[in-house]
Structure 1
Amino acid sequence: MNGRRLLFSGGSDGAMHAITVATGAPVWNWKVSQRGLNTAALKVGPDIIVSHSEENVGTSQMGMIAAIPADSSGTLTDKDARWIVRGVQVGYSSPVSDGERLYALDNGGVLFAFDVKTGAQLWHQTIGTIAKASPVLADGKLYIGTENTGDAGGKFFIIRPHADRAEILDQDWLGTPESSELIIASPVVARGRIYVTSMDATYAIGPKGAADAAAKSGGAAKPSGTPAGAAPAASSTGAVAALLVTPTELSITPGASLDLTIRAFDERGVPVASPGDVQWSLEGLEGAIEKGRFTAAPGVAQAGLIKASVGGVNGAARIRVIPDLPWTYDFENSGETPPAYWINAAGKYAVREMDGGKVLVKLADNPFAFAKRTRPFLGPPEFSNYTIESDVRSMERRRQMGDVGVVAQRYELVLFGNHQRLELQPWQPEVERTVKVEYNWKPDTWYVMKLEVQTLEGTNVRARGKVWPKGEPEPAAWTIERVDPIGSLKGSPGIYADAMNAAASGGSEMYYDNIRVYANK
């Protein structure tokens, strides 16, 4: 837009954002919802189409679809919109357009057509009762799947849109009407075929050999270094307005060296060809920096910034310096915060005196979802075949106990306080592979948790854990175990906590001590 490449995206803050691609600098934002936006932004002519199905700002009416000029700037309000239609709940399926009309599928399976210039509704067509998949427009037709059509699961539709109506050319159950397959994924059109994925299978629709014929005729898309519609790369002779230091974020080992470079941009995000001399400095890091080469101090685990400056304009890279295994954390020589190189721990954990020594505390004073349940990661994601141990303890407050656990290679071993059980989770949201055993454990009492993850033959991964009261001998048998046939082969060590009753007045805290991570024996 006006010589500047922009990214348009909805956020969890309920706003649509325009961001300069090269620098990340915000250009404009428009808060339209009390909750996050799930649908993709769509550029049609000079406008960005915004849609959602949540409560609108300033009114309790649910849902809207609107057009906002793409070349706007600053903090926008409704008066800056080209047009707004409220009450249309398009919260999952992203709209598409043919340049004249806008097609949007609402959460209830109703397909709408709007005039892209005015927002006037032209027609609507009911094709289901629940819909999440985005339609695809190709060859003058809309390809759409639904999750539910009322009495059964979803259908797949081919629809020819007209100025005044929707012409349904074809509609098919995937599976059978008695056991139809739900469709929540958008179809894909490629090489002469339509690909449709349901909750049970993936289908390729089209003549046999169509993909091969398309490839031979040059119909297959060819990779390009320049995105479609983007102007050729240019260079600026203007003043430097932003610096990008690369690599921007990286983990290295103590004593290792790292070469960094800068890219300079003008106020529109256009690269500056000759930015001038670069001044380098360190913040929070021990080591040396000279002409863009950083060498970390040997034997020191740390985190901090490598800064670059050109003419008073600054940029920085975040560096974590983490030694190889084994690690031990007893927190006796720590300050009041966890190690700076841990990820996702700052502000959520603290180091505190307890029982004559120092321990790590999961704070329970913030009920916000991202603070009450956390997974701090202790190192790089490339680690594999290791064991993590930790002493753990949970407070009971207002008859509530928190959940506490350890993480290895993306597997979680978790003690659930209120449910009095132990779980081994390959991935928490996907419960079918989770292993559960009953485990009665007491509040305000120390236990030892041990999780070992080992890659076996092929993609098989064995995860096994044990728990026992601290001070007692380690049991020979594992408490819980799973062999995962499609396992996670790499992953950072970490810890897990969920403060069930977190509140500003305080909730059930959890405690960790004597964390050890080491290669499997």
Structure 2
Amino acid sequence: MDWLFWRGPEFNGVSRETGLIDDFDPRGGDDSNVAWKRDDLGGRSTPIVMNGKLYTIVRADPATETEGEKVVCVDAKTGETIWENRFNVYLSDVPDTRVGWSSCVGDPETGTIFAQGVCGHFQCIDAATGETKWVIPLHERFGLLSTYGGRTNFPIICDDLVITSAIVIGWGEMAKPAHRFIGFDKRTGEVVWFSGTRLLPYDTTYSGPTLTVLNEQKSLVFGSGDGAIWSMQPRTGRPIWQYQFSRRGVNAPPLVAGETVFAGHSEENIVGTAMGSVVSINTSKTDGELRANLTADGANWQLEEVMAGRTQPLLIGDQLWVFDDRAKLQIFDAKTGDQIGRRIALGRMMRSSPLHADGKVYAFSANGRWAIYEPEEAKGASVVSKGRLPSGEECHASPICSHGRIFMQSTGALYCLVDPSKTAGLTKAPAAVAEAPIADDPEPAWLQVVPAEVLMKPGESQDFQVQLFNSRGQSLGPASGATFQITGPGHISSDGKFVAAKDAPHQAVMVTATAGSLSGSSRIRVVPGLPWKFDFADGNVPITWVGARYRHVTVDDQLLGELTQENPLAAQLYLYLHSAFTNTGRGKQVYDNSTPQQKWTALQRFMGTDATNLEEAQAALDPAIETLIDKQVLRGVSWGNVPDVGVQLTVEQGERDFSGEGVMTKITTIPKGTRSRCWFGHSDLSNYTIQADIRGATKDNKLPDIGLIAQGYALDLQGASQKLQIRTWVPQLRMAQTIDFPWKPDQWYTMKFEASVEDGKAVLRGKVWPKGDSEPEEWSIEATDEAPNYSGSPGLFGNAKDAEIFLDNVTVSTN
């Protein structure tokens, strides 16, 4: 049978096929059981099979100036290539060796597959021809974060939706990062719903979701970047329950069996200092309550110090098979958590999830060792056969099974394994668990406005539809008699047709639909055509910029200059407190070490002070505080000494209006946010120039990196190395050009970056000069890309890890 999702038709790594291999020789040849092998298709993506074709994601043109990523379709029987769909990796920190992290998902109903590239290039592809049906750059459109770790999540299909997720740093009320899921119409790419878990997660994550039915309710179960196991309604995005599990992100996919969810992690537990855990969660304790928290009493059992943070467990009868991060197999009684037999060593590291098929378990370790096991009641497992892949081959992908064949992708090859002496067969799968009938819950409980998010131009129109759902997230059909209203410019008709104002600037609009006692909303960004100019004189970061607010704030540069002259420590305290007032929306801030955030320690670290008691703290900061009170930045301040906590500082925001010279600042105070990008608007823009006035602060003799983004490329003024660089992909500088470029801190410069498409190539030109001087006639640096990005949203890049970045007078214009 077909294998449409990376963990199989039951989302649990189980195949009902028989007649599969008991052994194989990866070198090939007679009696090797290697039907075919593609040495050019090594990678880390778990393949899928649909309608006789295998689909996988791999590097394109590795280690060349045109390297990118591609989806490859081959004949599952012969291994012959049918088509390739190539695309660029751009504006991402993912290394080339981690390209192809995700897996395709197949949809027989529409004859399409869906693939998410490491940089956020998300597309719907015709499964027969390889033609792209629609594509969305998730980083530019929504603020997907792609990091050096390469962690990329797995799209999944539910009914008419394709759902994917990432850590998203968006716009408006979604400006703070969260692990967010987006439900797209699988035929059109229209956003149907947009939902997330807790704000400010510690990690990115690649915990593949499971689609299941729990307590008669369709559920999407996954490990989140916030360290919890979550269940969410896949048709609405409404959270059902959560189980707080780890202090860092959960990467191992949960396993669902009946009403029980098994999960593992290898980070610090939420209580104590032990690392790693495996848990059995009883989801029936929700009692139908939405947003339930099962942390306190939801565990049937939980074992600590089991480092199971990479692979999905297997359930075989009453045995729970867990491969830990060190590639050691541990088997537990699924009902009690008691260990069965001894640990069995496979290798040194495990990233591949195992496959259970034909009464055997197929497992591949990251260092290339593999084994085929047979379950045993007494000692848990016995080895049927084992071996090692050719030297240098690693295995990060998971083995799959389809039509009598085992497919496995290592970093060195794609293998098809068949035993020709056996006859393939298929046993009957257990009946799928049914949802409760809609008739049992016919009352509307949720109103959904579709599309849930739109990017428009002035004068364009958009039709909105309203759908109703019951409390279990089942569709009740369109809402009749819904009324619409908008917040922001434009007009909406009684039947939900919105028309953006023809002269609208960069603005946000909220559409609210109401039916009876229920209401729902949709967000719109209205972004006009070029030219654009932003001077931050109103004291605001543009609301329509993706990934900008929260990580950036506007400051009064005139005031900052005055404070720098009078009391440099007061200038630093102004930046720190102003960003806190802005990003929290609270005019009162308390700094002490009573919480894990250690806010007093963080403040001292930023200010460069090291007071150990109240007296020292007051002596260090009171002069700066008095200056800010005098400037009406602060209104009130109080010091305290909290038992068992120590120093406590409470400050209240003053009444000073924003005046003087407004500039946008990327601050160093946002954890894990100092190195990031933001985008201004439409991704179909090309042949344009972006310009900005920039300034870099200095701290401990370190400078930031400051960059402009155009058409999928960056012009980066680098502080530590004193260089100027044009690039598209940070770790793989495939087309990059770099020159020496000395520049000074605390001095304004003007940066200009032109992107164009000329004779089928991307041509990039940049220059930097002291602000106020005449613009140089010659470009400082030029680069050409033979594998071009033909379009992309303008934006900004900055690495403010070491010191603040200041920007003003940002313009974008056509060439």
Shorter-chain TM-score above 0.5 = yes
Alignment correspondent of 1:282: 486
Where do 1:280-359 residues align within 5 Å?
Answer: 280-301=484-505, 302-332=507-537, 335-354=538-557, 358-359=661-662
Confirm or deny that 1:392 pairs with 2:604.
Answer: no
Instruction: Give 1:364 deviation, angstroms.
Output: 1.6
Where do 1:29-428 residues align within 5 Å?
Answer: 29-73=242-286, 74-77=292-295, 79-123=297-341, 124-148=343-367, 154-163=368-377, 164-176=379-391, 180-206=392-418, 229=433, 231=435, 234=438, 238-273=442-477, 275-301=479-505, 302-332=507-537, 335-354=538-557, 358-364=661-667, 366-370=669-673, 372-428=674-730
Contact 1:285 1:305 in 2 (8 A): no
Amino acid of the residue matched to residue 461 of structure 2?
S
Distance 1:202 1:230, change over 3 A: farther
Contact 2:664 2:808 in 1 (8 A): no
Distance 1:390 1:308, change over 3 A: same
DSSP 3-state at the match of 1:72: helix
Name the CA distance, whole Å, in 1 between partners of 2:330 and 2:241. Answer: 28
Confirm or deny that 1:25 pairs with 2:241.
Answer: no
Instruction: Give 1:295 deviation, angstroms.
Output: 0.7
Instruction: Give 1:262 deviation, angstroms.
Output: 0.8
Amino acid of the residue matched to residue 240 of structure 1?
P
Contact 2:484 2:513 in 1 (8 A): yes
Name the CA distance, whole Å, in 1 between partners of 2:490 and 2:309. Answer: 49
Instruction: Give 1:511 deviation, angstroms.
Output: 1.7
DSSP 3-state at the match of 1:82: strand
Distance 1:251 1:438, change over 3 A: same
Confirm or deny that 1:511 pairs with 2:803.
Answer: no
Instruction: Give 1:127 deviation, angstroms.
Output: 0.9
Distance 1:377 1:155, change over 3 A: same
Distance 1:360 1:173, change over 3 A: farther
Distance 1:431 1:118, change over 3 A: farther
Q: Which has the higher contact order (CA 8 A, sep 6+)?
A: 2
Name the CA distance, whole Å, in 2 between partners of 1:455 and 1:143. Answer: 49
Name the CA distance, whole Å, in 2 between partners of 1:480 and 1:99. Answer: 63
- Runs of at least 4 residues off by over 6 Å: none
Name the CA distance, whole Å, in 2 between partners of 1:453 and 1:169. Answer: 59
Q: Deviations over 1:10-57 (max 9, x none)?
A: 112111112222322222211111111111111012200111001112
DSSP 3-state at the match of 1:272: strand
Name the CA distance, whole Å, in 1 between partners of 2:749 and 2:365. Answer: 49
Distance 1:498 1:181, change over 3 A: same
Contact 1:360 1:512 in 2 (8 A): yes
Instruction: Give 1:455 deviation, angstroms.
Output: 4.6
DSSP 3-state at the match of 1:112: strand
Name the CA distance, whole Å, in 2 between partners of 1:126 and 1:243. Answer: 52
Aligned-pair identity in percent equals 31
DSSP 3-state at the match of 1:368: coil
Alignment correspondent of 2:202: none
Unaligned runs of 5+ residues in structure 2 are 1-213, 287-291, 559-658
Alignment correspondent of 2:223: 10
Distance 1:122 1:383, change over 3 A: farther
Q: Deviations over 1:264-298 (max 9, x none)?
A: 11222222347442121111333334311101111
Contact 2:216 2:434 in 1 (8 A): no
DSSP 3-state at the match of 1:94: coil
Distance 1:378 1:67, change over 3 A: same
Q: Deviations over 1:385-432 (max 9, x none)?
A: 433222221112342322211112332222222232233332335466
DSSP 3-state at the match of 1:369: coil
Contact 1:236 1:273 in 2 (8 A): no
Name the CA distance, whole Å, in 1 between partners of 2:721 and 2:309. Answer: 34
Confirm or deny that 1:465 pairs with 2:766.
Answer: yes
Name the CA distance, whole Å, in 1 between partners of 2:331 and 2:441. Answer: 46
DSSP 3-state at the match of 2:549: coil
Distance 1:469 1:125, change over 3 A: same
Instruction: Give 1:117 deviation, angstroms.
Output: 1.7
Using the size of structure 2 for normalisation, the TM-score is 0.56
Distance 1:240 1:165, change over 3 A: closer
Name the CA distance, whole Å, in 2 between partners of 1:489 and 1:174. Answer: 40
1:500 to 766, 776, 801: 801
Distance 1:438 1:271, change over 3 A: same
DSSP 3-state at the match of 1:175: coil
Name the CA distance, whole Å, in 2 between partners of 1:192 and 1:461. Answer: 47
Amino acid of the residue matched to residue 245 of structure 2?
V
Question: Which stretch of the first structure deviates more once superposed, 158-167 or 117-126?
Answer: 158-167
Amino acid of the residue matched to residue 162 of structure 1?
E
Name the CA distance, whole Å, in 2 between partners of 1:125 and 1:384. Answer: 56
Contact 1:359 1:512 in 2 (8 A): no
Contact 2:712 2:791 in 1 (8 A): yes
Unaligned runs of 5+ residues in structure 1 are 149-153, 220-226, 502-507
Amino acid of the residue matched to residue 469 of structure 1?
P
Name the CA distance, whole Å, in 1 between partners of 2:726 and 2:332. Answer: 50
Amino acid of the residue matched to residue 669 of structure 2?
N
Alignment correspondent of 2:10: none
Question: Which stretch of the first structure deviates more once superposed, 166-175 or 489-498?
Answer: 166-175
Name the CA distance, whole Å, in 2 between partners of 1:228 and 1:436. Answer: 58
Name the CA distance, whole Å, in 2 between partners of 1:456 and 1:144. Answer: 50
Contact 2:735 2:783 in 1 (8 A): no
Q: Deviations over 1:40-95 (max 9, x none)?
A: 11101220011100111212111011110123322223542111121110111222
Contact 1:352 1:361 in 2 (8 A): yes
DSSP 3-state at the match of 1:93: coil
CA root-mean-square deviation? 2.9
Contact 2:694 2:808 in 1 (8 A): yes
Name the CA distance, whole Å, in 1 between partners of 2:229 and 2:809. Answer: 45
Name the CA distance, whole Å, in 2 between partners of 1:76 and 1:55. Answer: 19
Contact 1:395 1:443 in 2 (8 A): yes
Amino acid of the residue matched to residue 708 of structure 2?
V
DSSP 3-state at the match of 2:678: coil
Q: Deviations over 1:435-470 (max 9, x none)?
A: 543322111122233333445667x64444333333
Alignment correspondent of 2:152: none
> Would you say how many aligned residue pairs link Structure 1 and Structure 2?
488
Amino acid of the residue matched to residue 510 of structure 1?
I
Where do 1:482-501 residues align within 5 Å?
Answer: 482-485=784-787, 487-501=788-802
Q: Deviations over 1:93-148 (max 9, x none)?
A: 22222343222211111112222222222132101112222122222222222223
Question: Which stretch of the first structure deviates more once superposed, 139-148 or 316-325?
Answer: 139-148
Name the CA distance, whole Å, in 2 between partners of 1:104 and 1:413. Answer: 47
